[in-house]
Amino acid sequence: MVFVKRDAQGQVVSASLAPDAEHTEPGEPGDPAVAAFARNLLGDDAMVDSDLRLVRVLEDVIDLLISRDVIRFTDLPPPAQAKLMERRSMRQSRGTLDLLGGDDLV
């Protein structure tokens, strides 16, 4: 969990892993301002951008293998199941479950 400090325009200007006097607001993973802050920290690293896009492809491949009964969701280790369920929930809430399509990052 990350805690954020925002400026007058609502943009995240600082983040902390622990709450303190300046970082009192929990940063939600789906918050565009939190995502923008993280991207600013990472900079324009092509490898990071590529990794993020590859994660989406891997999620879609796993979903495809499950839907075709090649693997069962329960075959995956519990931590992987939890992460996939969290990502699936976030993507569905944004309406972007689009097999191998689109290039938006979640």
- Interior CA angle at 2 toward 18 and 76, to 5°? 120
Residue 106 confidence (pLDDT): 44
Query: What is the pTM for the complete model shown?
Result: 0.50
The 10s digit of each residue's pLDDT in 22-76 is 998 998 877 888 888 887 887 767 777 788 788 889 999 999 999 999 999 999 9
The rounded distance, in Å, linking the Cα atoms of 39 and 43 is 6
Residue 67 confidence (pLDDT): 94
Report whether pLDDT(105) > 50: no
Q: What is the 3-state secondary structure (H, E, C) of 21-82?
A: CCCCEEECCCCHHHHHHHHHHHCCCHHHHHHHHHHHHHHHHHHHHHHCCCCCHHHCCHHHHH
Residue 76 confidence (pLDDT): 95
Return phi, psi of residue 56, to 5°.
-60, -45
Per-residue pLDDT band at 97 (split at 50, 70, 90): very low
Per-residue pLDDT band at 10 (split at 50, 70, 90): confident
The rounded distance, in Å, linking the Cα atoms of 62 and 68 is 10
The rounded distance, in Å, linking the Cα atoms of 16 and 14 is 7
